[in-house]
A and B are shown apart, each in its own frame.
Chain A
Amino acid sequence: KQEVTQIPAALSVPEGENLVLNCSFTDSAIYNLQWFRQDPGKGLTSLLLIQSSQREQTSGRLNASLDKSSGRSTLYIAASQPGDSATYLCATNAGNNRKLIWGLGTSLAVNP
Chain B
Amino acid sequence: EPEVTQTPSHQVTQMGQEVILRCVPISNHLYFYWYRQILGQKVEFLVSFYNNEISEKSEIFDDQFSVERPDGSNFTLKIRSTKLEDSAMYFCASSASGSSPLHFGNGTRLTVT
Give residues in A with beta carbon < 8 Å to B. 4, 31-32, 34, 36, 41-46, 49, 51, 89, 91, 96-104
Contact = CB atoms under 8 A, between A and B. Distances in A.
Given A44-B43, A104-B42, A98 B106 contact: no
Range of interface residues on chain B? 20 to 34
A34 B101 contact: yes
A101 B45 contact: yes
Contacts of B31: 97-98
15 contacts: A4-B42, A36-B104, A43-B4, A46-B102, A49-B100, A89-B43, A91-B43, A97-B99, A98-B31, A98-B55, A99-B45, A100-B102, A101-B45, A102-B43, A103-B42
A42 to B, nearest CB: 6
Interface in B3-17: 4, 6
B92 to A, nearest CB: 9
Contacts of B105: 43
A111 B67 CA distance: 43
Contacts of B99: 31-32, 51, 97
Interface string B43-83: 11100101000011010000000000000000000000000
A102 B56 contact: no
B25 interface: no
Nearest to B33: A98
A108 B47 CA distance: 29
Contacts of B58: 99
B49 to A, nearest CB: 9
A36 B91 CA distance: 13
A20 B58 CA distance: 32
Contacts of A46: 101-104
Contact of A44 (B42, B91, B100): B91
A71 to B, nearest CB: 17
